[in-house]
Amino acid sequence: MSTQKTTTSSFKVSAKVTYVEQESRPEASYYFFAYKISIKNESALPARLLSRHWIITDGFGQTEEVRGAGVAGQQPQIAPGQTYEYESACPLATTSGIMKGSYQMTADDGSSFDVEIPEFYLIAPSALH
């Protein structure tokens, strides 16, 4: 039995980023960003988010890949029409960076698929001057 993986647009992912000044230490090249992710299931089937794959690129072009089970310690089941939200954070050594990636999902019918996390930007206010 083989598992077929596809990328679906039946799930919409959006991110809201906040620079956390009180957690950042610019003198030590440490910039802390919090982000809130919203995942909306626009398909007809419930699906479980099993794992994540992030690609994080800092302002120097250094890339780090992060893989892990679930998100924020959970593997949420997302029903049709439901939006699942969670918060997380990312420290960088530069004042700006980019995050993107994918979620690995399994629908109730047994199919597996990836949901793309569109690219979003981490930008400290000092990077804009």
- The domain spanning residue 92 has which CATH number? 2.60.40.1470
Asked whether residue 97 is domain-assigned, the answer is yes
Residue ranges, the chain, pLDDT below 50:
1-6
Query: Which residues lie closer than 8 Å to 15 by C-beta, 6 or more apart?
Result: 35, 36, 37, 38, 99, 117, 118, 120
Output the pLDDT for position 33.
97
Largest Cα span, the chain: 56
Asked whether residue 129 is domain-assigned, the answer is no
Q: How far apart are CA 51 and CA 78, in angstroms?
A: 14
Domain with 114, as residue range(s), is: 5-124
Asked whether residue 99 is domain-assigned, the answer is yes
Residue 84 backbone dihedrals phi, psi, to 5 degrees: -105, 130
Output the pLDDT for position 8.
59
Q: How far apart are CA 67 and CA 58, in angstroms?
A: 17
Output the pLDDT for position 88.
96
Output the pLDDT for position 84.
97
